[in-house]
Chain A
Amino acid sequence: MRTRGLLVLSLALLSAGCSSIEPWVKPYDRENLADPIMAFSRAPISQEFLDHVFDSREGSRGATGASGGGCGCN
């Protein structure tokens, strides 16, 4: 019974916490983040090709935009 009470209390606190989260970086403060130089990938077509090269030369894969296809895998 006590465990159930704690669970309900925890959920209540959690939901209250979520609903009261205020954006600490206001939309009008995001000018720098919106600058094109802040894009993780500024040119998708170029990044795809380069990731494809890395994917062919490296044994690891995934989670960074790795690419597949013919780049001298043989």
Chain B
Amino acid sequence: MANKRLAGFVITCCALGGAAQAGVLPEDRADVLYFRYDGGGVNVQGPSMLVRKSIGEHVSVQANYLIDMVSSASIDVETSASKYEDERRQSSLSADFLLGKSTYSVGYTKSDESDYLAKTLFFGVSHDMFGDLTTISFNYSEGHNDVFRNVKIGDVKVNDPTFHEKMQSKSYSVGISQIITKNLILSGQFEVDTDEGFLRSPYRSVRFFIDQFNQGREDEKYPNTRSSNAAAIRAKYFLPYRAALDGMYRFYTDTWGVVGHTAELGYVQPLDNAHWGGNWTFEGRLRFYTQTKADFYQDIFPRADFSNFMARDKELGTYTAYTLGANATYEFKIERFRWLSKGQLNLRYDHMTVNYDDFRDARFSLGSFGTLPDDPYDPGTEPLYKLDADIYQFYFSAFF
């Protein structure tokens, strides 16, 4: 139960790729990635493989396959269920067609996990104009999702035969990429996403006051639709001593009342031949994110059935997040392999800290996996929750 936003993922990747690459097909490459996310009781790891290959001068195809192996004892799971393990497999196939100054892209992505099946189609077009200084793009994607709920019978996890819901999503995106000077490029993107259907988690519950010292729980209740607008602007600047500085800002708002601000600052520094043979490139990145809560979010509601819509998903609360990351790239050539123009080994580490303003650590009152704490807090008086996550990536890239 994780794949909620595949359509958005597909369209935005397509849009950014298209904006940067219109008029020129992407280079042939193959990547193998191992990733690991560790934070808040959740561990996700697995491999991802990507191959991109040109066919003639006008067509480029890309295939991607990844496996998420999830082991979750998140705070939601800890306070209401037992630890679980799951696996998600995602495969995608896409093609870009270059016709004059325009690039047309089509693709299909399928994501499969035990309680969520997502299929997404996307289409995009981008066009170079004004002497290739400007690239405009339009992208559309449509997702069809089947939501199931797992139950445990003995030690065996099976789909609940009485539960099967659907969710459809659509994404529309326009983008522009503009060369400003010989050292500066700007890009802007506006995206509208709409979701309709079953939008909540089938597992998560809200909590409510029974009285000052006791609390109860009931299923979340979400609207059946959600529409969002996101506008982002990015800039990248080439520094005189061969380094690159980039920045990004995104404004987000949706019909659930969430307003989000994202800002990111990055710096890329390749070493010249006088330092370690000129084979190394280092990158640093800082990301800041803050949002206000959804209208129907509360950490604890005054009573049961308090309103038509009730949520306690911490990602719908009010919070601020910081992510600090570093990447090292080692580039090499192997003379024997003439078909390999270059290879890259990459190691990347990011640390994320999320400070929640209105999501309390209910383990202090509800306990953990059914075991009550020795000295339980009164509901609504627990300390605020904080999440720290370590994100590791190791990947190899080959260019042909």
Contact = CB atoms under 8 A, between A and B. Distances in A.
A57 B350 CA distance: 14
Nearest to B44: A71
A41 to B, nearest CB: 7
A42 B50 CA distance: 14
8 contacts: A37-B242, A38-B236, A40-B246, A42-B283, A43-B346, A51-B12, A64-B230, A72-B74
Given A33-B183, A60-B260, A66-B8, A54 B2 contact: no
Given A57-B321, A74-B1, A29 B182 contact: yes
B348 interface: yes
Nearest to A21: B130
B277 to A, nearest CB: 17
Interface of B: 1-9, 11-13, 15-17, 20, 31, 33, 35, 37, 39-40, 42-44, 48, 50, 64, 66, 68, 70, 72, 74, 76-77, 86, 88, 90, 111, 113, 116, 118, 130-133, 171, 173, 179, 181-183, 185, 187, 189-193, 201, 203-204, 228, 230-232, 234, 236, 238, 242-244, 246, 248, 250, 252, 258, 260, 262, 268, 270, 281, 283, 287, 289, 291, 294, 315-316, 321, 323, 325, 327, 329, 344, 346, 348, 350, 352, 354, 387, 389, 391, 393, 395, 397
A59 B260 contact: yes
B3 A70 contact: yes
Nearest to A61: B8
Contact of B90 (A40, A69, A72): A69
Given A63-B250, A73-B2, A46 B86 contact: no
Contact of A74 (B17, B76, B118): B76
Task: Name the residue among A37, A59, A63 with the largest chain B CB count within 10 angstroms.
Answer: A63
A58 B287 CA distance: 12
A31 B12 CA distance: 27
A23 B132 contact: yes
Nearest to B189: A63
B111 to A, nearest CB: 6
Nearest to B244: A37
Contacts of A64: 12, 16, 189, 230, 232, 234, 248, 250, 262
9 A-B pairs with least C-beta separation: A23-B131, A72-B42, A70-B2, A68-B5, A60-B260, A60-B252, A63-B230, A62-B191, A62-B230
Task: Name the residue among A21, A33, A41, A46 with the largest chain B CB count within 10 angstroms.
Answer: A46
B193 A23 contact: no
Contacts of B2: 56, 69-74
Contacts of B187: 40
A49 B32 CA distance: 12
A68 B243 CA distance: 31
A45 B64 contact: yes
Contacts of B181: 25
Contacts of A35: 238, 242, 244
A20 B139 CA distance: 29
A74 B393 contact: no
Given A30-B179, A52-B9, A73-B201, A45 B193 contact: no
Contact of B3 (A38, A40, A68): A68
A73 B191 CA distance: 22
A5 interface: no
Contact of B12 (A49, A62, A71): A62
